[in-house]
């Protein structure tokens, strides 16, 4: 387990005394600029601009329907799969506007993986679930695939539990195991960013704790963006937090600051649970 306090102090070292986000900028940060998202013309995300720092955990919180999932789904352009969803604005990453038509969503999604609210393993074996992505990318050698599956399952802290039943259907796993399998599956294509859309909402507290541990470990190597309706979870695992309301990013800053000294009245109301 990781010491929560140690992490926090380390993070504090990166920020300046005022509590604003560190100004050190990297090309690997995800820079969202003036992003608007519409469902059949109706605005769901309203003029959001923000910088998501690499190798950190960024959480989006807010009441249901505030647009946090919609915003998340735009980062790997999953919104394009929804009929009637349109967007404008820019998301800069690795020196490119990834919303540009010239950027291929297929290769983008390989670099920016996603984990969904409901565990959604394919109705295949555990092995085939993990191997699906690498196979798409042209790895056919059985031995090589077996090596990848083992390494990835170890990364996702699932190996010990499933190593004797890799050929069994993934649907036979418990909910928490299924969700870690889905995280593992996302890791198997070696992305740089992992988007998580309320990954623990369907899980029990024990399973949730395991996923949070995993997220803590993941952020050393990956940029993690997580949507959660659970404020405690955001406080526990994230470095930066954005509060959204009615499609607008009301406040975005260091997690500690958002939860302890929110600048906006709306944020404070929400944090304190005094919300319409």
Partner 1 sequence: MNTGGYLRGRRSPLTKRVSGLSERAVITFLFLASSAAVFITIAIIYTLVEGTFNFFSFEEVKLFNFLFGTGWVPSGRDPEFGMLPLISGTLMVAGGTIVIAGPIGIGAALFLSEYAPFKLRTFLKPVVELLAGIPSIVYGFFALFTIGPLIRDIFPEATYFNVLQGVIVMSFMVLPIIVSISDDAMKAVPRYLREASLALGATKWETSFKVVIPAASSGIAASILLGIARAIGETMVVTLAVGSVAGFHFNFLKEAQPMTSYIAQTATGDIPPGTPAAEAAFAVALVLFLLTFLINRIAGRIVFRIKKGSMAKREPSFLKKKALEIKDSILKKDTMIEEETVSRVIRIDRSKRSIPEKGQDRRLRIRHIKGTLGASLSALCLVIAVIFLIYLLYDVFKGGYGVISWDFLTGEPGWRVSELSIMPAIMGSIYLMLLTLVFAVPVSVATAIYFNEIARDTFYTRFIKRMIQNLAGVPSIVIGLVGLTIFVRLFDLGTSLLAGSLTLALMMMPIIVVSSEEALKAVPQSFREAARGMGATRWQTVKDHVLPNAVPGMITGTILALSRAIGETAPILFIGAIFAKTAPNGVMDSFVALPLTIFYWSRQVEEYKPFAEGTILVLLAILLTMNAFAIIIRYRSQKRRDW
Binding residues for partner 1 (CB under 8 A): 76, 78, 81, 83, 104, 106-111, 113-114, 116, 118, 120-124, 132-134, 136-139, 144, 147-148, 151, 154-155, 157-161, 164-165, 168-169, 171-174, 176-177, 182, 185-186, 188-190, 206-207, 210, 213-214, 216-218, 220-222
How is residue 4 written in tokens?
A: 């929560």
Q: Residue 249 pairs with which residues in a beta bridge?
A: 244
Q: Which residue has the tokens 């349109």?
A: 86
Closest to partner 1 by CB, 191 or 242: 191
Minimum Å gap between C-beta 263 and partner 1 is 34
Closest to partner 1 by CB, 94 or 137: 137
Closest to partner 1 by CB, 39 or 159: 159
Closest to partner 1 by CB, 239 or 251: 239
Instruction: Answer yes or no: are the C-beta atoms of 266 and 248 closer than 8 Å.
Output: no
Minimum Å gap between C-beta 46 and partner 1 is 24
Q: 163 Cβ partners below 8 Å, 6+ apart? A: 150, 153
Q: What is d(CA 124, CA 19) in angstroms, rounded to the nearest whole number?
A: 47
Minimum Å gap between C-beta 41 and partner 1 is 17
DSSP codes, 136-196: HTT---HHHHHHHHHHHHHHTT-HHHHTT-TTSBGGGS-HHHHHHHHHHHHHTT--SEEEE
Minimum Å gap between C-beta 196 and partner 1 is 11
Minimum Å gap between C-beta 164 and partner 1 is 6
């Amino acid at each position: 387990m990781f010491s929560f306090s140690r992490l926090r102090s380390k993070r504090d070292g990166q920020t300046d005394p005022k509590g604003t986000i560190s100004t050190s900028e990297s090309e690997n940060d995800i820079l969202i600029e003036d992003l608007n998202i519409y469902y059949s013309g109706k605005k769901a995300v309203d003029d959001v601009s923000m910088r998501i720092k690499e190798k950190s955990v960024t959480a989006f919180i807010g009441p249901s329907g505030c647009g946090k999932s919609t915003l998340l789904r735009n980062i790997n352009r999953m919104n394009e799969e929804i009929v009637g969803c349109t967007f404008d604005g820019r998301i800069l990453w690795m020196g490119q506007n990834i919303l540009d038509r010239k950027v291929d969503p297929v290769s983008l999604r390989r670099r920016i993986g996603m984990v969904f609210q409901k565990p959604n393993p394919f109705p295949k074996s555990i092995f085939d679930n993990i191997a699906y992505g690498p196979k798409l990318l042209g790895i056919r050698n059985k031995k090589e695939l077996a090596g990848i599956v083992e390494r990835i399952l170890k990364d996702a802290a699932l190996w010990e539990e499933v190593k004797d039943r890799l050929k069994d259907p993934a649907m036979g796993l418990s909910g928490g195991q299924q969700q870690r399998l889905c995280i593992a599956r996302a890791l198997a294509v070696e992305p740089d960013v992992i988007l998580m859309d309320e990954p623990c909402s369907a899980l029990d507290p024990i399973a949730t704790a395991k996923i949070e541990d995993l997220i803590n470990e993941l952020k050393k190597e990956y940029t993690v963006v997580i949507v959660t309706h659970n404020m405690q979870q955001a406080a526990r695992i994230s470095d930066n937090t954005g509060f959204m309301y009615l499609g607008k990013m009301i406040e975005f800053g260091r997690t500690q600051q958002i939860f302890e000294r929110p600048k906006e009245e709306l944020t404070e109301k929400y944090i304190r649970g005094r919300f319409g």
